[in-house]
């Protein structure tokens, strides 16, 4: 695997320009399609890694997360073969959604329903839409009145189920999923927080989008804005206030610890910088609050997050465990998503996005099978991990962002073929907030 220069990060121009980036994405798609396996009824499914015996259906690391990339490729290249693969993947997901044991957005049935709905909307496949409806009804039937399982956050719990339901068009289920947060919020000196899991004796409180308070804030704001629930919006503001009060990098930056007290200190550094547990994901929450609450101060916080990200040293691998991931969930592709949001929305120069892309180009493994990326686990031997297929850790999430970078750099359409439920749609430069606030400014609103 070719490594990027650790001292001076390459630029997109040095990596060969947009044509080379687009060709790399096409090679990534070729590798993905080569890793697919036939399923009953003419379907297609993917394992999380080519060596795995079992197929995965989930949005996080399986087939449901690959479908959006196929839809992206179809629209980007105008090639219906990618749409045909998405249709076949939907056949597999329709069966998997019936059999799933988990109901969550990223790890279960809600994410499968979301991918099925995307196939229906983009490709006009009514069978996929009917399967999505059945899956959502199954999710609704398994609600215990407070939660669906142990997790209680965005990736594996109520917040994600609410966002997925809203994105599929089921506002009633979205509201049902979010209402428990109004009675489980824990007051803090600055606002409110929540336990990320239903686990006796759990003390640490997580703060960021994937498993922490800001993921719940995002869902409350999105569903509250859509459903006209002022109580959800007030709670979102209070949850955000608890996190912003923990900032350690102001006034120019924004950096909050992963958790307090430290959750699993043997595995996680106190600060992270990507989408999951760092300012990259925080910025997406602040962008949404800006739009829903119509308060420009949230954009200031998003800008401060970006300052911290761009001054952190990533994507250079400064030390073991600092930046070992190329992918969308905790790595370079997730930062690239925000960089492209800012290019389209704020009119940012492409310089830093180009650095990220060049690093992805340099770290790709390319051969006759196509292109893929290996992440690193510095505590393991060997430390270079097998390339993954899916959205979170693998080629699907990286390819999707590379294709968008090509479009945004060429002043093309910044929108995705499939809108991810926890990434706000971009607004053109100069149109950075709603015309009227949905909720008057109150405690917790940024100044």
Instruction: For residue range 288-310, list pLDDT tens digits in order.
Output: 999 999 998 999 999 999 999 99
Task: Examine the pLDDT at 44 and tell me if it is beyond 50.
Answer: yes
Q: What is the mean pLDDT of residues 79-85?
A: 98
Tokens matching residue 385:
């991990």
Cα radius of gyration rounded to whole Å, the chain: 20
pTM (predicted TM-score): 0.94
Task: Examine the pLDDT at 16 and tell me if it is beyond 80.
Answer: no
Task: Examine the pLDDT at 105 and tell me if it is beyond 90.
Answer: yes
Cite the beta strand spans of 150-262 per DSSP E. 186-187, 192-193, 205-206, 259-260
Closest CA to 155 of 114, 223, 210: 210
The residue count for the chain: 447
Per-residue buried b or exposed e for 296-331, using 16+ beta carbons within 10 Å of the residue's own CB: ebbbbbbbbbbbbbbebebbbbeeeebbbbbbbbbb
Return the ∠ at Cα 213 (arms to 208 and 219), rounded to 5°. 100
pLDDT of residue 427: 87
Task: Examine the pLDDT at 434 and tell me if it is beyond 60.
Answer: no
- The distance between the two most distant Cα atoms of the chain, rounded to a whole number of Å, is 58
**Chain-wide mean pLDDT for the chain?**
93
pLDDT of residue 14: 43
Which of the two residues, 91 and 436, has the higher pLDDT score?
Answer: 91
What counts of helices (H) and strands (E) characterise the chain?
Answer: 15, 8
pLDDT of residue 441: 63
pLDDT of residue 3: 35
Task: Examine the pLDDT at 2 and tell me if it is beyond 90.
Answer: no
């Amino acid at each position: 695997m070719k490594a990027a220069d650790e001292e001076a990060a390459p630029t997109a121009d040095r990596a060969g320009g947009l044509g080379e980036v687009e060709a790399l994405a096409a090679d990534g798609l070729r590798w993905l399609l080569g890793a697919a396996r036939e399923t009953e009824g003419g379907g297609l499914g993917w394992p999380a890694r080519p060596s795995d015996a079992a197929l995965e259906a989930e949005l996080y690391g399986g087939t449901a997360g690959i479908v959006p990339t196929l839809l992206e490729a179809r629209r980007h290249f105008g090639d219906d073969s990618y749409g045909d693969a998405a249709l076949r993947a939907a056949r597999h997901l329709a069966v998997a959604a019936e059999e799933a044991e988990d109901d969550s957005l990223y790890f279960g049935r809600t994410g499968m329903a979301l991918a099925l709905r995307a196939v229906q909307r983009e490709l006009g496949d009514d069978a996929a839409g009917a399967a999505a409806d059945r899956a959502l009804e199954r999710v609704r039937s398994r609600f215990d009145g407070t939660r669906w399982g142990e997790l209680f956050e965005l990736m594996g719990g109520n917040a994600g189920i609410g966002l997925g339901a809203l994105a599929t068009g089921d506002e009633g289920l979205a509201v049902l999923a979010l209402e428990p947060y109004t009675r489980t919020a824990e007051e803090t000196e600055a606002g409110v927080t929540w336990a990320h899991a239903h686990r006796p004796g759990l003390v640490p409180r997580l703060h960021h989008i994937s498993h922490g308070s800001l993921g719940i804030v995002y869902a409350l704001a999105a569903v509250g804005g859509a459903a006209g629930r002022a109580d959800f919006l007030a709670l979102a503001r209070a949850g955000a206030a608890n996190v912003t009060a923990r900032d350690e990098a102001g006034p120019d930056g924004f950096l909050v610890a992963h958790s307090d007290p430290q959750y699993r200190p043997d595995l996680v550094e106190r600060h992270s910088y990507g989408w999951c547990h760092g300012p990259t994901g925080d910025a997406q929450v602040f962008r949404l609050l800006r739009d829903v609450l119509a308060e420009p101060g949230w954009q200031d916080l998003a800008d401060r997050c970006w300052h911290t990200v761009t001054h952190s040293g990533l994507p250079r691998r400064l030390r073991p465990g600092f930046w070992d991931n190329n992918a969308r969930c905790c790595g370079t592709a997730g930062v690239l998503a925000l960089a492209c949001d800012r290019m389209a929305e704020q009119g940012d120069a492409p310089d830093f996005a180009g650095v990220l892309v060049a690093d992805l180009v340099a770290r790709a493994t390319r051969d006759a099978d196509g292109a893929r990326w290996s992440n690193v686990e510095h505590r393991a031997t060997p430390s270079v991990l097998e390339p993954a297929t899916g959205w979170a850790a693998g080629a699907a999430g990286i390819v999707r962002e590379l294709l968008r970078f090509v479009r945004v750099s060429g002043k093309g359409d910044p929108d995705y073929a499939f809108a991810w439920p926890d990434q706000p749609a971009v607004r053109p430069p100069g149109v950075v907030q709603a015309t009227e606030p949905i909720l008057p400014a109150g405690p917790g609103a940024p100044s």
